[in-house]
């Protein structure tokens, strides 16, 4: 879906009523109580605005972890436990994709500038669109290349739109449906924000004065979905947010930051997770495993080889910035060196 008209302010953006199972909180194992089976959740979908909507899936993750723990170590290049597979028509995003931040809540302009820089650098550090293909070696999103090439598709190119427009500064409690409403407000106010010839992914980023009420910090740290307008169908978007120290244990791997903000570093990893899933499973019906876990879900809270310095860890440096970015599952389902202990196909850069 390429937006060449840029006439998105003509009609309202509507939430589909479905979102992905969210990026699980660090303590998701606490939810692994009681019986769970692979048949409890076989698609990566949560009905909107349900506070406990992710719980059946979190419990199935607990079962998956217990099963994986019982599997003997395999060899690098061998088959991984619980493979990911392609379903239906296996629809993925292609072409030139623009990532557009939508800042909601009481954001300070200086913080918006910093977050734009640090998050945008993840996308642009290896080049600018339209040449910035995820197929480039070393690209953070290169781990997704096989989801396209194994199906005869061309991997997408990504670009970051350096938006600084702040929407609804008084927002506090934000439901799943509200996220779409705020994105609609942003689209209406910025009808020409989408670069011509690109498919947008809008990224709701709430200020620390807000909270995603369907489970941020209790069951998830971010999620993705899609919506529609009269003129544009199936518009992708992601929901993440800044947060206070109350949620460090849930959404931050470390509290000493290489970039001066624990929540920014945490959301750099969560954003990467959600973009991984958005481009490979945009309508929640393409790539996932028998538990309904999408590619990034399958490697949640694993980081591979890390370097420790000045009290913080990082596993990748992009330009002058260091990040601790979670791994992503490779579509070939072959065990990687960093996934050997769990028989998984997880990698940071492909």
Q: How confident is the model at residue 28 (pLDDT cuts 50, 70, 90)?
A: confident
> For the chain, what is the mean pLDDT?
90
How much of the chain exceeds pLDDT 90, in percent? 73
Q: How confident is the model at residue 294 (pLDDT cuts 50, 70, 90)?
A: very high
pLDDT score, position 220: 96
**What per-residue string of b and e applies to 9-31 under the rule 16 or more CB within 10 Å gives b?**
beeebebbebbbbbbbbbebeeb
Alpha-carbon distance values, 258 to 167, 273, 307, 319, 330 (Å)? 28, 19, 11, 13, 27
Question: For residue 125, is pLDDT > 60?
Answer: yes
Question: For residue 203, is pLDDT > 70?
Answer: yes
Question: For residue 310, is pLDDT > 60?
Answer: yes
Mean pLDDT (whole number) for 333-343:
93
Tokens of 121: 């650098």
Mean pLDDT (whole number) for 212-218:
95
Alpha-carbon distance values, 281 to 100, 226, 344 (Å)? 19, 11, 20
Mean pLDDT (whole number) for 331-336:
97
pLDDT score, position 66: 72
User: If you compute the radius of gyration of the chain from its CA atoms, what whole number of angstroms results?
Assistant: 19
pLDDT tens for 147-166 read 999 999 999 999 999 999 99
pLDDT tens for 57-104 read 888 887 777 777 777 778 999 999 899 999 999 999 999 999 999 999
Q: How confident is the model at residue 277 (pLDDT cuts 50, 70, 90)?
A: very high
Give the residue with greater pLDDT, 36 vs 235.
235
Least confident of 50-54, 141-145, 223-227, 317-321: 50-54
Q: How confident is the model at residue 4 (pLDDT cuts 50, 70, 90)?
A: very low
Mean pLDDT (whole number) for 319-346:
95
What residue spans define the domains of the chain?
Answer: 8-347
pLDDT score, position 30: 76
Mean pLDDT (whole number) for 269-298:
96
Question: For residue 221, is pLDDT > 70?
Answer: yes
What span, in angstroms and rounded, lies between the C-alpha atoms of 331 and 337? 15
Question: For residue 39, is pLDDT > 50?
Answer: no
How much of the chain exceeds pLDDT 70, in percent? 93
Least confident of 226-230, 237-241, 324-328: 226-230
Mean pLDDT (whole number) for 174-185:
93
pLDDT score, position 287: 97
Helix, strand or coil, per DSSP, at residue 44: coil
What span, in angstroms and rounded, lies between the C-alpha atoms of 215 and 230? 30
Burial (CB count within 10 angstroms: exposed 0-12, middle 13-18, buried 19+), residue 209: middle
Mean pLDDT (whole number) for 196-208:
96
Mean pLDDT (whole number) for 243-262:
96
Q: What is the pTM of this model?
A: 0.93
pLDDT score, position 40: 52
């Amino acid at each position: 879906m390429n937006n060449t008209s840029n006439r998105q302010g003509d009609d309202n953006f509507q939430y589909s009523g479905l979102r992905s199972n969210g990026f699980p909180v660090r303590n998701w194992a606490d939810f692994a109580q009681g019986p769970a089976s692979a048949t409890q959740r076989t698609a990566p979908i949560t009905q909107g605005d349900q506070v406990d909507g992710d719980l059946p899936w979190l419990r199935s993750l607990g079962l998956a972890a217990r099963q994986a723990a019982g599997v003997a170590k395999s060899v690098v290049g061998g088959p991984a436990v619980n493979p990911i597979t392609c379903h239906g028509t296996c629809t993925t995003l292609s072409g030139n994709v623009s990532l557009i931040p939508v800042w909601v809540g009481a954001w300070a302009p200086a913080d918006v500038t910093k977050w734009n820089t640090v998050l945008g650098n993840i996308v642009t550090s290896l080049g600018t669109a339209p040449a910035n293909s995820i197929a480039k070696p070393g690209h953070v999103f290169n781990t997704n290349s096989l989801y396209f090439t194994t199906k005869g598709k061309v991997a997408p190119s990504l670009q970051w739109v350096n938006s600084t427009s702040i929407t609804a500064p008084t927002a506090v409690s934000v439901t799943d449906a509200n996220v779409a409403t705020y994105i609609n407000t942003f689209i209406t106010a910025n009808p020409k924000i989408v670069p011509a010839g690109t498919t947008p992914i809008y990224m709701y980023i709430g200020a620390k004065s807000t909270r995603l009420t369907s489970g941020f910090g209790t069951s998830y740290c971010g999620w993705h979905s899609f919506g529609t307008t009269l003129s544009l169908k199936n518009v992708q978007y992601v929901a993440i947010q800044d947060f206070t120290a109350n949620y460090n244990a849930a959404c931050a791997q470390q509290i000493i930051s290489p970039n001066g903000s624990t929540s920014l570093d945490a959301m750099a990893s969560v954003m990467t997770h959600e973009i991984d899933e958005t481009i490979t499973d945009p309508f929640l019906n393409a790539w996932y495993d028998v538990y309904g876990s999408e590619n990034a879900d399958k490697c949640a809270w694993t980081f591979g080889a890390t370097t420790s310095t000045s009290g913080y860890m990082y596993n990748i440096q992009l330009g002058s910035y260091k990040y601790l970015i979670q791994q992503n599952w490779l579509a070939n389902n072959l065990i990687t060196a960093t996934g050997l202990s769990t028989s998984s196909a997880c990698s940071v850069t492909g």
